Amino acid sequence: MPDPKFADRHDAGRQLARRLGGYARRDDVTVLGLPRGGLPVADEVARELAAPLDVFLVRKLGVPVHPELAMGAIAEGGVEVLDERLIRDLGVPMSEVHEVAARQRHELQRQSTLYRAGRPAAPLAGRMVILIDDGLATGSTMHAAVLALRQHAPSRVIVAVPVGSREAVERLAAMADEVVCLSTPSAFFAVGQWYDDFRQTNDDEVGDILATSARRAGPATTETSGRECG
């Protein structure tokens, strides 16, 4: 049987929410989306679970000559994760690594100002936090996010994605309290190959999702059911 594909990120989020049904309508759950592609997925999950939604800022550090290849990532809280073996194997000078990291720190600050529009970050201490992206390739971005999130002392960290490489899922399973992944295809090359529509999510869309979520009042009207999957 072929591995499933998702129509778009919203479809993926609705399917993911069904697997997270055990967390629905609890008063101690917060959903966080990684920008930018994780926000449409996280929005659907937050709606279905009737949970608050926020963004958790993390930036991939791309190899200078191949920006799509992650040599590490940085996240809120000053966390930096480097793939030292990859950096060494590719011969990337540490001076260039530091330059890329400096640019991405500036982008983190820009995103924080733009996306939150003066709203405070969601309180995370003592809460069950579901950390969502649209997929896991190397897992370095999510790795940084989990490390940064631990600094906020949540009671539980659940990494949830529609699709991911087996290697990345196994890596995150050693860090998070739970990993929920709907599909781990054996032939995995890129997250986008598992979506019919994988158009880039832009800053305006992220801002609109967060503003709408902030205005959302009352419990969600859609009942969810499902089971946890580690």
Q: Which sign does the torsion angle of CA 172, 177, 180, 183 carry? A: positive
pTM of the model: 0.83
Q: Is 225 among the domain residues?
A: no
Contact call for residues 158 and 177 (beta carbons, < 8 A) = yes
pLDDT along the chain (230 residues), means of 10: 81 98 96 96 97 93 87 84 92 96 93 89 94 94 90 95 96 96 93 96 95 69 35
What was the pLDDT predicted at 2? 55
Give the count of domains, the chain: 1
What was the pLDDT predicted at 111? 92
Q: Is 82 among the domain residues?
A: yes
Q: Is 224 among the domain residues?
A: no
CATH classification of the domain holding 49: 3.40.50.2020
The amino acid that residue 87 corresponds to is I
Residue 82: domain span: 9-214
